[in-house]
């Protein structure tokens, strides 16, 4: 009988529990126990329901091109609950010199693929437009070393593309900074495109020609009643006796036949351990076992995040999914989602729901601020940007201390070092967002792969 401890009950730990339980029900001789520090499961996935609105405190959806989350939803019987973003409403604005300018049609992330929208847009100066046109001619390649997203984008399209597009887009996803994030870890597809073609414009146009014909896939996928539905359905499929909450101060010790998990309620022995907690916590648990890997993990920076949700009665707002705020605009907010357009059925008829995103990358004192301050910042900036002066029907604030890991330049090399060292600890697995992807599908994939490895091992 194999005994497995899972430490951490976010989506990664819960997915690991789900896949282990599935193997157990299919006849594999194993037992597992999940240890979660807090009083609830789900980690940063949390949905609240208020006045007919579905309010996401953490992720509101996942990228449709990464299949693992939707696959898990279907396995759990949630297939009919899967929904997609209203892509006919898909338009995102960038705040440029205090005005909202739509991202021009044909700009795929930062790669221009259509001429006229680029010529006509107010987002870029003439010199950036000329630079875009030249990119298709001049191959620019970097084979040897990792670099920041900002450096990579600047080589192709110049500083204005960094400031106006790459930096705010990355900040909206990672809550971080394009000048420190690793292009190889964060935008591997673009690195591949550069390696093969030199020009990103040429590579994107070629890929588009080769893509199968048919209607485009919706960009985002989610669940009708919010992301919490995934968490609740996983929990409902698991034996409650294996889920241990409020496990503060868990520590690990190597014993002759495996691992001892020490908790305030006593010690338990396991053959394998799955660590599903943010990298610095994993580093702390591994410090006495494998100091070098522990030190690398402890140094992975996480930004803290806050979502401020404000509901309004029928204000006059622009269409689209929302806007991004470049750092050069000197605002506190990084982005704002128009939830009533992106997922319209999550909002009561006649209500507009705005979700403003703040990060410690732009506001280092974020966690020390009072909720009232964050509400005030959101309202002040919405007034400046959208002219929105009305009193919201309600406002809610959610904050995450270890919100999003920052894969800084050289991240993949450090991740490989951690992995190589972890192999020296038989039965020890690290999953979640620490190393290979921050999205919900990435975390689910890491759990599934760890369980597969663990079941294969003697
Ligand atoms: C505000 C925000 C918005 C996001 N938006 C999106 C999005 O739209 N789409 C998307 O795909 N992704 C999004 N992400 C990223 C994604 O949600 C996360 O990367 C993912 O959910 C992390 O899951 P996890 O299980 O690895 O970690 P977590 O959710 O952080 O869970 C870790 C768990 O471990 C517990 N824990 C920590 N230390 C210990 C310990 N020592 N012992 C026991 N338990 C411990 C914690 O209490 C927590 O429950 C977002 C993240 C944030 C913060």
**What one-character-per-residue DSSP string does 120-170 give?**
H-SSS-HHHHHHHHHHTTS-----S---BHHHHHHHHH-HHHIIIIIHHHH
What is the whole-number distance in angstroms between the Cα of residue 118 and the centre of ligand 1?
A: 37
65 vs 4: CA distance, rounded Å: 31
What is the whole-number distance in angstroms between the Cα of residue 291 and the centre of ligand 1?
A: 24
3-state class (DSSP) for residue 219: coil
Q: How far is CA 342 from CA 90, 292, 320, 339, 346, in A?
A: 7, 44, 7, 5, 9
Indicate whether residue 13 lines ligand 1 (CB < 6 A). yes
Indicate whether residue 234 lines ligand 1 (CB < 6 A). no
Nearest-CA residue for atom 49 of ligand 1: 43
Q: Quickly list DSSP for 221-275.
A: EEETT-THHHHHHHHHTS-GGGEE---TT-EEEEETTEEEEEETTEEEEESEEEE
- Is residue 333 within 8 A of residue 172, CB to CB? The reply is no
Compute CA 75 distance to the chain's CA centroid, rounded to the nearest angstrom: 22
Task: Give the pLDDT of residue 458.
Answer: 64
Ligand 1, residue 44: give the atom nearest the CA: 29
Give pLDDT tens digits for 377-390.
Answer: 999 999 999 999 99
Would the pLDDT of 140 be above 80? no
Q: Rounded mean pLDDT of 57-77?
A: 96
Q: Rounded mean pLDDT of 185-196?
A: 94
Task: Give the pLDDT of residue 375.
Answer: 98
Task: Give the pLDDT of residue 88.
Answer: 75
Confidence of residue 210 (pLDDT cuts 50, 70, 90): confident
What is the whole-number distance in angstroms between the Cα of residue 367 and the centre of ligand 1?
A: 17
Indicate whether residue 440 lines ligand 1 (CB < 6 A). yes
Indicate whether residue 400 lines ligand 1 (CB < 6 A). yes
Confidence of residue 139 (pLDDT cuts 50, 70, 90): low
Q: Rounded mean pLDDT of 105-116?
A: 88
Task: Give the pLDDT of residue 214.
Answer: 77
What is the whole-number distance in angstroms between the Cα of residue 107 and the centre of ligand 1?
A: 30
pTM above 0.85, yes or no: yes
Confidence of residue 325 (pLDDT cuts 50, 70, 90): very high
Task: Give the pLDDT of residue 405.
Answer: 97
Indicate whether residue 277 lines ligand 1 (CB < 6 A). yes
Average pLDDT over the chain, rounded to an integer: 94
Compute CA 349 distance to the chain's CA centroid, rounded to the nearest angstrom: 29
Indicate whether residue 12 lines ligand 1 (CB < 6 A). yes
Give pLDDT tens digits for 254-300.
Answer: 998 899 999 988 999 999 999 999 999 999 999 999 999 999 999 99
Within 10 Å of residue 385's Cβ, how many Cβ atoms?
A: 19
């Amino acid at each position: 009988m194999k005994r497995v401890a899972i430490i951490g009950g976010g989506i990664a730990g819960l997915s690991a529990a789900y896949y282990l339980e599935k193997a157990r029900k299919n006849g594999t001789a194993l037992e597992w126990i999940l240890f979660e520090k807090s009083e609830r499961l789900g980690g940063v996935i949390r949905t609240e329901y208020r006045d007919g609105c579905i309010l996401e405190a953490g992720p509101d959806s996942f990228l449709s091109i990464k299949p693992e989350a939707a696959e898990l939803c279907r396995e759990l019987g949630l297939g009919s609950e899967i929904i997609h973003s209203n892509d006919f409403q898909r338009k995102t604005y960038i705040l440029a010199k205090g005005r909202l300018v739509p991202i021009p049609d044909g700009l795929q992330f930062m790669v221009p693929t259509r001429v006229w929208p680029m010529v006509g847009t107010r987002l870029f100066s003439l010199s950036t437009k000329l630079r875009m046109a030249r990119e298709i001619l001049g191959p620019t390649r970097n084979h040897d070393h990792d670099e920041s997203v900002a450096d990579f984008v600047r080589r192709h399209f110049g500083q204005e593309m960094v400031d106006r597009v790459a930096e705010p887009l990355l900040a909206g996803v990672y809550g971080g900074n394009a000048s420190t994030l690793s292009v190889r870890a964060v935008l591997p597809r673009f690195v591949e495109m550069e390696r093969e073609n030199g020009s990103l414009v040429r590579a994107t146009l070629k890929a588009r020609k080769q893509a199968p014909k048919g209607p485009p896939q919706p960009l985002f996928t989610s669940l009708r009643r919010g992301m919490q539905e995934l968490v609740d359905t996983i929990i409902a499929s698991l034996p409650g006796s294996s889920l241990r909450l409020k496990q503060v101060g868990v520590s690990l010790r190597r014993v002759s036949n495996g691992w001892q998990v020490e908790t305030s309620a006593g010690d338990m022995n396991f053959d394998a351990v799955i660590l599903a907690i943010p990298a610095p916590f994993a580093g702390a648990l591994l410090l006495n076992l494998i100091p070098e890997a522990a030190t690398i993990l402890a140094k992975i920076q996480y930004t803290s995040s806050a979502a401020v949700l404000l509901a309004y009665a029928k204000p006059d707002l622009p269409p689209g999914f929302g806007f991004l705020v470049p750092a050069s605009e000197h605002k506190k907010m990084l982005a704002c989602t128009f939830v009533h357009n992106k997922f319209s059925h999550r909002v009561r008829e006649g209500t507009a729901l705005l979700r403003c995103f703040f990060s410690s990358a732009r506001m280092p004192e974020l966690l020390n601020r009072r909720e009232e301050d964050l509400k005030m910042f959101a309202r002040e900036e919405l007034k400046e940007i959208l002219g929105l002066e009305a009193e919201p029907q309600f406002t809610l604030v959610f904050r995450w201390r270890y919100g999003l890991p920052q894969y800084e330049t050289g991240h993949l090399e450090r991740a490989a070092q951690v992995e190589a060292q972890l192999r020296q600890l038989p039965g020890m697995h690290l999953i979640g967002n620490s190393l290979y992807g921050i999205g919900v599908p990435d975390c689910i994939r890491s759990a599934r792969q760890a369980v597969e490895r663990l079941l294969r091992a003697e």
